[in-house]
Chain A
């Protein structure tokens, strides 16, 4: 599934370029705990989270994150957007909860990442 299709399904606001939104996403993971995310992601994955501090972007230095969906209406700051741009990391923001967002994507065929 392309990242732009994910943005459409989640009625999300996009903070990235059209080119970045063409990125193919094959699996996803959702959590608000840094250690959980570090422990569970063993393949390139989409991250759904309500965290919007710089450590979320720092995570992408450690593990393969293909893009970030901020849930519950959380929006990245300008600082975060700049950090993400430096790392070619596309981001979107949805008003839906983590549960609802995950459910919608799962029902549309986006599988859970390997843990």
Chain B
């Protein structure tokens, strides 16, 4: 998977994209077409009891549509890690699951405080999780790497002091080795 990071004065961006999406990936994220179906959820900050519900429901919904089990697992893992990130690190946010014929685009938007250094956050084992999160079994520093590993496209845009926007695309065709 190719990846690139960019930084402007106000925000930082991170792109990682599988070869299958190289040509159309950016357009699908920056200017998403009208989805066939859409699910919306809010994610509360520090609510370690409820977090994961949105990801469960997204997975269940796709399961009913007949999406294959390996793809379901990748969607569930990527969404769950992103949902936990919003719970553990932000002031709360939302997830929109946009479902198309051959892929899902899940967009996680929070209310800040943004990611200080995205490149650093992508390093397996790096974590800023607090004691509470660690007690719950989170904070392994594998959240973003796990999302990248299980998705066909990962886009992060974050402005320190403002917010973070994270989008993942997972194609519904079976991918043997992730």
Contacts and interface: CB of A to CB of B under 8 A. Distances in A.
Interface of A: 32-36, 38-39, 42, 49, 51, 53-56, 58, 61-64
Interface of B: 48-49, 51-53, 55-56, 59-60, 73, 76-77, 80-81, 84, 136-138, 140-143, 146, 149
A60 to B, nearest CB: 10
State the majority secondary structure of interface residues on A: helix
B146 A39 contact: yes
Contacts of B59: 61-62
Contacts of B140: 33-36
Contact of B149 (A39, A51, A55, A62): A39
Contacts of A62: 52, 55-56, 59, 73, 76-77, 80
Nearest to A36: B140
A58 B51 CA distance: 9
Contact of A38 (B60, B81, B141): B81
A43 to B, nearest CB: 10
**Max count, chain B CB within 10 A of own CB: residue among A34, A39, A42, A49:** A34
B76 A63 contact: yes
Contacts of B141: 35
A53 B48 contact: yes
Contact of A35 (B48, B53, B56, B81): B81
